[in-house]
Structure 1
């Protein structure tokens, strides 16, 4: 049977390409890793920049991430790390960064979107760290995020950034003018301990502020219904003698960025949808090829990759028939 070309699809202003379908061959065959999303860059000192991104999962599993400064690879980190400090930079200089994921077979994803950061100007010899941040407070923001606030630290020059720690691990950084942050990608009903440290342009780090103990709200992880896409709709359309499956839905109401969905067709994984840029806000749409015969019925549903890297609950399952009105 002649197979129609794989269609390019415009989704909320972003051009996407359906890369593979399980029913057309071995599931995941030759599929590159997903593109890292949620990439940010923030100057940490006059000579360093913090680069952060969301976790990518796939099969084969992701084994590491590569960080690029322009077109040059400057760092590699293991798959369980989603933040890296790029050091030995020049003061007062603008840099552009991107991230690529690598899987166990050595295949690289396409580069993420580029993000820019400018290091502050160099300062005179400085070996005095900032004071500890003022009183830190926080609250749970739903089941998968917390909001933290703290008092500004003091420095004889200037505070350039604040580092947020979860236990002993640095998990987030914000600019020195910010005294609040939202930490996403957490687990429902889980106890966390956070602290904040200040950093100056000379890379001097302050003592930690007070610890904040927070518990995320309980979530229905067992059923996953609070993490499932809603208002799911499915129809078919004919294009050049072949049929596409046209889907639309509302993203699940979770805190954080959702950059990937998995579509299940007739009980099997059909394709993964990875946004080719910033995920759209509000209703999402997607189409892909399902065959050339009219009158064929298919069951379809989808689920989202949540900010903490786990899969959410499935949407309602719908049945569509090719060629049906």
Structure 2
């Protein structure tokens, strides 16, 4: 009988085990598609509004990176497709591109570059444009809407149109266009939109008429918009008591720049970050009383990037000096 060498048996056994390894976890090595439809609009001499179409991936797009002249200038979550950049130089030319990332660390090719030349410093002009007219809105799925309006008039020129939802600016387009696609909305949600015209001197028109829209229901409409891990303590300094709040910011698809803080069931104050919203866990402290033994019920909610208020955090009870 022909004997098989031990090394050959070992190799055959390894080959057999490898062939039966159906439980091995698949490796994600496919990058997202490159973002398309990049647009850059200079709303003033020092600021731009950048927007693009979402990328696709075999699993999930988890983030975007925005580049200016080849240098990374902003990282954004995968549900955000627009951003405002400020502090730019008048009359200077800039070049922008964006790329998508997935959870496995794969990155797409960068989008085609788009250039913009910043406006000249605004002339002395105190006259605002007229209000845009005949605003209409049409749904574009559960997370987007298309708005159209009649052009405003100005003694110089309309340089930008700003789209507002419930009093919060959520998008801007060039003054030469009278339509806008607004993305980042939530399915099954009521919205009220208005539009204002703006000129180079940053004079803003009155609001257009209001239009209302309810987005179609769909997946993702029930995401949790409440701040998480909410905690409240007190401390005393020089005879004054302060409330110390901390929480995990809700994942809303963009920065949360504003919060409402409620005490004993009523709105007490509004918190607005002076600069960029902090990443991850947020903290805030404010004066509450000079009396010991005062009890407060505290909760807060975030203003979402789509202009609506999110759900309240859990309510916490705290007593000064306790």
Bigger radius of gyration, 1 or 2? Answer: 2
- TM-score normalised per structure 1: 0.49
Q: Which has the higher contact order (CA 8 A, sep 6+)?
A: 1
TM-score, length basis structure 2: 0.49
